[in-house]
Structure 1
Amino acid sequence: MAQPKFDLKQHVTDIIIQEIEKGTPPWQCPWTGSVKQFALPLRHNGTPYRGINVLVLWVQAHLSGYASEHWMTYRQAQELGDQVRKGEKSTPSVFYVTFERKDDETAAHDDEAKARIPFLKTNRVLSVAQIDGLPENYYAEPVPPVNLGTEPDQRLENFF
């Protein structure tokens, strides 16, 4: 029996529903600068992800506590000579590619008549937090907790 096709829309919907059902909205965070929040997810080469991938990778980083915004495939990690930790799970990302197919009706009249057909492909990526041995520039620097207005500022208290 064939394995069911991966449905990214259903995957994202299920994750969001699970978080809502937990009762603690993930968008309500303490006002400290101790966690790097919502940096755009980046490919291994520094190019930002776009579209639904941003939401998928943000959610996965939040759920797993990943501090770095860099993501890469298993093969890309191997090419850098690094090793994914045993037992780590990848996260789906998607991208569109096109292929050209000659249109049979116009092919008889025009050799260049080609139909561009877009289709969606799924890729599995890992956060660099799941990979050992990468160059230091891939890893997020720890951010010390910062007071973001939770403690009174004595200068302002004196002013008012």
Structure 2
Amino acid sequence: MGKQRRDIYQEVTDKIIDLLDQGTVPWQNPIKRGNGDGWPKNMHSGKNYRGINVFLLGMRAWESGFASDYWLTFKQSKERGGQVKKGEKSSLVIFWKQLDKEDPETGEDIKIPVLRHYNVFNVEQCEGIEIPDAPKEIVTDPFIPLERAEAIVDGFPNPPKINYEGRRAYYRPSVDEVFIPEPELFEDRECFYNTLLHECSHATGHSKRLNRGLDTDLAPFGSPDYSKEELVAEMSAAFLCATAGISPPTIEQSAAYIDNWRKQLQGDKKLVVQAAGAAQKSADLILGTQFDQASSPKESPKQTKTVEQQPEPATSQTAARTQLELF
């Protein structure tokens, strides 16, 4: 029996759908990266990758936190006197190759485009190779918090620990901690707070809060219950952003994201209503309000940060969407 042929088309499609299902739009990311221009490049030729390869490598860089734009093959790393670090996983790159073939009807020589692929590694996955665009000190404008958004975060009763580190944002229910990049690494403040409130909304599902089973009975990735949790977190973040006065563009993006999940689960007519109810409870818990109380954030007793009264309009296309960590 011959070796089963690899379906590259399906692999590429699956990678895109996988991230969309996790709430990540592959071609949009408000978290700033290193010194490069953000366009994936082959380190050997210096040329930019094109087409679907831009998204494939861009997604991998975002998932893994790579700051460099440069990629190379295993062989190319050896040629440069380095090597791929043990245990590192490669990334898929595809290209079209023109094959010479004889037309069976006319007998003329013709060229047939055939899809081919190879594997590459980000230069940060290698050792012994100088990284051309290694991050230097990132110069950013001072981050000026939004008063109302800060009051919401600071007023979260019995909150999870919030860690400002890395280049991904997620909630890890096993340790009840939120991980998010430093605020300065986001394109704007609205994106930062929208992302932070999304992850804090996940944290309300911990067993010591509203107990949606995140740390005790987390549903498998891709299941309806898993998707519902993402929908709850996004709806809750939309409620909280509205309370914080986050500008309308961000709320509209949330609405589009919510609609994506609704379409994913069309078979459950009760989903949106149930998710909205759970999201309202999540937002109420973070705000410290009861059903008959006004939905306004509690003022933090200690405000040590320099704040501004009114938010500025959002400028980026979307806010980061991230999945729960499954461990």
**Higher relative contact order structure (alpha carbons within 8 Å, sequence separation ≥ 6):** 1
Partner of 1:124: 119
2:143 maps to 1:144: no
Contact 1:38 1:58 in 2 (8 A): no
Q: Which amino acid aligns with 2:97?
A: V
User: Aligned equivalents of 2:9 and 2:143: distance in 1?
Assistant: 38
Q: Pairwise mapping of residues 1-160 of structure 1 onto structure 2 (< 5 A)?
A: 1-23=1-23, 27=28, 29=30, 33=32, 35-36=33-34, 39-44=38-43, 45-103=45-103, 106-107=106-107, 113-137=108-132, 139-144=133-138, 146-147=140-141, 150=144
5+ unaligned residues in a row in structure 2: which ranges? 147-305, 310-327
User: Aligned equivalents of 1:92 and 1:23: distance in 2?
Assistant: 21
Which one has the bigger strand percentage?
Answer: 1
Which one has the bigger helix percentage?
Answer: 2
Q: Percentage identity across aligned positions?
A: 34
User: Aligned equivalents of 1:15 and 1:106: distance in 2?
Assistant: 40
Name the SS for the 2:41 alignment partner. Answer: coil
User: Aligned equivalents of 2:99 and 2:17: distance in 1?
Assistant: 35
Q: Which amino acid aligns with 1:43?
A: N
Aligned pairs, number: 146
* TM-aligned CA deviation for residue 100 of structure 1: 1.3
CA RMSD of aligned residues (A): 3.2
* TM-aligned CA deviation for residue 23 of structure 1: 4.8
Over 3 Å counting, the alpha-carbon distance change for 1:39 and 1:143 in structure 2 is: farther
Q: Which amino acid aligns with 2:58?
A: W
TM-score normalised by structure 1 residue count: 0.73
Q: Which amino acid aligns with 1:63?
A: E
User: Aligned equivalents of 1:105 and 1:19: distance in 2?
Assistant: 44
5+ unaligned residues in a row in structure 1: which ranges? 108-112
User: Aligned equivalents of 2:105 and 2:76: distance in 1?
Assistant: 42
Farther off after superposition, 43-52 or 3-12: 3-12
TM-score normalised by structure 2 residue count: 0.39
